[in-house]
Amino acid sequence: MTRRLLILFFALFLLPLASHAAWWSWQPLAADWRRADWSSAALLPAAAIEPEATVHVFAARVGRWRGVFAHHSWVVVKEAGAKAYTRFDVVGWGNPVRVNHREADGRWFGNVPELVVEVKGPAAAALIPRIREAVQSYSYSSYGSYAAWPGPNSNSFVQHVLAEVPELGHALPPTAIGKDWRQDGLYAGFTPSRTGLQASLYGLAGITLGWVEGIEINLLGLVAGVDLRQPALKLPGWGRVGL
């Protein structure tokens, strides 16, 4: 049994992570944050020509070696007729919760973000006030409350928003380390989407079974599992691998 568990651990966690680390080492990466490209990735139309209310959640690989296994995520909203987007995310320096800290669809350490959630029109207009309330209710918004691992961090913040507004109906990438961190430490209950069940030990170990989240096994913040709703594998390092 011990041997089988070790083989399973190697196949599900170590092998994917090692292979992604090898691939990542060949990518052109910014040497530091000063020389990284933080400009818009042109994923959103100019707010002035987008009349509808919109909600977006983005996630992008973090910088340098940490990009091997982690994403940074954030939330963007725009009321109907507004001339600018409003971006909410959490960072690891100063006061954690930032508003319009970067471009709404900006690169993160030069890495182009991926779209996690998009809602437009009346549905977005109905959700935006609740998203703003969720941002205000985030418990770890004071100086010094950020912890890159296991949390609370940027992904813990966005997961809080998704949990407070489950109608958004999407899950963060499996590489959003910190998404499973819970302020209660020991947690057993519904998943953030309210479509399944989750058990977590300080975000360091746990299991998730949900329609939106899929099947996930969390070990030290690394996640392996299966996406059921949109069939795909979830692998440490690589993230979601599917169509």
pTM attached to this predicted model:
0.94
Whole-angstrom Cα distance, residue 140 to residue 146?
7
Q: What pLDDT does 243 receive?
A: 67
| Residue 161 predicted with pLDDT over 80 | yes
Of 47, 60, 45, nearest to 106 by C-alpha is 60
What value does the mean pLDDT take over residues 86-92?
96
Whole-angstrom Cα distance, residue 66 to residue 62?
6
- Close Cβ partners of 230 (under 8 Å, ≥ 6 residues apart): 242, 243
Q: How confident is the model at residue 185 (pLDDT cuts 50, 70, 90)?
A: confident
- Burial, 139: exposed, middle or buried (Cβ in 10 Å; 0-12, 13-18, 19+)? exposed
| Residue 81 predicted with pLDDT over 90 | yes
Please state the φ and ψ torsions of residue 71, each to the nearest 5 degrees.
Answer: -110, 155
What value does the mean pLDDT take over residues 141-167?
95
| Residue 32 predicted with pLDDT over 80 | yes
102-136 pLDDT, tens per residue?
Answer: 999 999 999 999 999 999 999 999 999 999 999 99
